[in-house]
Every structure is written in C-alpha cells, then in structure tokens.
Amino acid sequence: MTRVGKRILNIGMIGRGFMGRAHSNAYRQVSQFFELDHRPCLQAICARDPEKARVFADKWGYQSVEDDWRRLIERKDIDLIDICTPNNTHFEIAVAAAQAGKIVLCEKPLAMNAGEARRMAQAVQEAKVPNLVWFNYRRVPAVVLSRRIIDEGLIGRVFHYRATFLQDWTISADVPMGGDALWRLDKDAAGSGVSGDLITHNIDTALYLNGPIDSVCAMVDTFVKERPLQSDPSRTEQVRIDDACAFLARFANGSTGTFEATRYARGHKARKTLEINGELGSLWWDLEDLHQLHYFSHRDPASLRGWRTILVTNPEHPYMANWWVPGCNIGYEHTFIHTLADFLKGLETGEAVHPTFADALQTQIVHDAVLRSAVQKTWAQSSESSGLTL
C-alpha cells in the first residue's frame, strides 16, 4: 500500500519496442487521470539485450532489468506480466505466466493461430488469473460512442459493416525484413502479414460493435516477393507474409461485411475506418481523425436530414471527463491508457474486462478462417465455439 492507500501493482514488462513504449506510457499515466484502487509500479523490464533494456529502464523509470523472461516470471515481486514481444513468443510466455499465477496482459494478436490461442485462453481460465489482450481501438471514445448509439437502437437493424486498415510503409522493395520492428514482415516471427497485424484489429472492433462473424470469403496477396534481411542486407529471402488481405463476411445478426487491409495504399498511414449502415441510420469513423464520429439519422425531419459530425470531446462522451476541456483532443496513446484504466477497474470489481484471451480467441478463429478461405478459394466457417467463458 502507498501512503494514500493505493494497492501497488508491480508490472513486469517483456519487450522494449513500439508497444513496450505505448504500454509503459499507459502504466505511468493512468493513476494521474483515473480514480483507481491500484497504482502500477514499473518494477522490471525484460529484453534480450541487457544494455538496451537498461537504456529503456532509465528512460521509462523501471526499477530493474531482466534479460530472461523465465526469471522475470519466477520473481515474487511481480504481479502482472505484460507481453510486448513478437507474436511467435506470446504462447510460451503467456502460458508460463498464467501457471505462475500472474495477471497476464498480451499485445495483439493473441497468438500465431487459433490452436495456440485456445490453449492460452484455457491456461488463464484454469489458473483463474485476470487477463486482457490490448486491442486498443475498442477504447477510442468515438468507437465506444458508436457502440452506445447501436445499443440504444438509433441505427436499427444493421445491413452492412465495412472496415479498412490502410498503410503504405512497405511499398519499397528495399524495406528489409526481420529483427527490431521489422519482425512484422517475417512469417516465422509474425505468423502472417497484414491479416494478423491489421485485420485482426478490425475483426476485434467488428465483434465489439456488430457481434459474431459466421463465415468469410477471403483473398490475400504478396506484392514484393523477396526482401533483404535486416540482419544481413546483402542477403535476400522470399517474403512469406500477406501484404494485402480482403474478405467478405456474414455476421450472425444477418448483416454482411467487407474488410480490407494493406500496407500498399500509397498516401494512407493508418487509415482504419469503419462504416455501419442500419435501417434507421449510419455511422462512419476514421482513426486518422479519431475524434470525429459521423452519424446519419433517417429519423431527422426530411428537410434537415444529412450526415452530422460529432466532435467526441465532451465530458458526456466516453472517457473524456477524465481529460481536458471540450475541444481539446486526445490521441492514440490514450487508447492504451483507457484500456488499462478499465482493466484496473475490473481488478477492483472482479469483473472480466474485454477483450479477454477468450474474446481474442474468437478473433483468432475468424483470422484462421480468413487464411483458410484464401488458400482454398472458398467460403470458410468462422463461428466455431471456443467452449470457454467469455
């Protein structure tokens, strides 16, 4: 306990890359902006290169450094393990952490495939440890507001769900693959390409807003067939990840969906969009302009009907009362702070905070179906029951 009576939650962070930074920032900020019983303490950072780990520890305020995640998990002074390493390491670390009785948080996608994800979800369920996957876009205020609008019946029966995630950073054939940051281009480390890295975000957002996806029909493509290796730029190897992925979906609620993700959409950096068309209205949102939610209501008087743009910064809007004054925006990093704030609240109430590992398993099941469908060139079922409590 601290002097002000907060329960200290000792964090053991594994990974010091982009996500290690995004999560560390959330641990440092959350207590300043949200009233919570728990106060995170940055107890240890773990990374393979001890020197780089020390530099990271100094910058972010971690108390100690480890270079072996197994040792970190054995430590009695660690309550929570946060996994921010490449996808091919999530399974082993998460299962070991759960078996050691630690709270486990994992960066997305949860696993390399649904088989791994299922065993991870079982491990946290058997160990009865709180768990969460950092699909952070569920916590954009405008996305949460969309869910409220849908739940209040304001757009009525949904006909269409449309999602994109467009980037352009791998168009040059000179971009190397493998190693720091660029492991996302290496199939052995990432498992897949944009389908795992970007479309899983959109699947998670869709499951949150529009419910389960029953079946999918997909295609994938790889435009740059060979790339130099980051570890040895004089060598090139075959690219085995998907550069672009698109699929049609049938949702359990009867609506149809289209999903597209690519790293070859010149001019787009992180254009994650969603559009939902219902009988009574529609919603449209874009991550690159994350405070603006576009809403059309067919119930408006005919002469006034038109798309309205809601600036989602009022205290009445999700999370915004915790920040500044209306009109003063927040950004990408806040979605991680919101995720953590909700998770810490869940520790107080004992209620699961979503997406849990079991929720992320559902996303992984859809993702597996997408890849299966693309290979088999046919529709694939994506609604297999996980048999786990969500």
Q: Determine if residue 139 is left, alpha or beta; phi over 0 gives left, psi from -120 to 50 gives alpha, anything else beta.
A: alpha
DSSP string for residues in 309-358: EEE--STTSTTGGGSSSTT----HHHHHHHHHHHHHHHHHH----SS-HH
CB of 255 or CB of 273, closer to ligand SOE: 273
Retrieve residue 15's tokens.
């990974």
Between residues 31 and 167, which has the closer beta carbon with respect to ligand SOE? 167
Site string for ligand SOE, 65-94 (x = CB under 6 A): ------------------------------
Cβ distance to ligand SOE smaller for residue 146 or 202 = 202
Q: Which of 241, 214, 215 is nearest to 227 (CA)?
A: 241
Rounded to 5°, the CA angle 178-179-181 comes to 95
Least distance between ligand SOE and beta carbon 47 (Å): 18
> Whose Cβ is closer to ligand SOE: residue 9's or residue 185's?
185
β strands within 98-231, DSSP E: 103-106, 131-133, 158-166, 213-221, 226-228
Q: From CA 302, how far away is CA 191, in angstroms rounded?
A: 50
Rule CB under 6 A: is residue 310 a binding residue for ligand SOE? no
Look at the block and give the residue holding tokens 């492991």. 183
Q: How far is the CB of 136 from ligand SOE (least distance, A)?
A: 7
| Closer to ligand SOE by Cβ: residue 30 or 84 | 84
At its nearest, how many Å lie between ligand SOE and the CB of residue 35? 28
Name the residue nearer to ligand SOE (CB basis): 193 or 257: 193
Which residues between 256 and 285 bind ligand SOE (CB under 6 A)? Answer: 270
Binding to ligand SOE in span 167-196, by CB under 6 A = 167
Distance CA 202, CA 386 (A): 20
- CB of residue 109 vs ligand SOE: minimum separation in angstroms? 9
Is residue 197 a contact point for ligand SOE (CB under 6 A)? yes
Residue pair 355/132 in contact (Cβ under 8 Å)? The answer is: yes
Give the binding site for ligand SOE (CB under 6 A). 167, 197, 201, 270
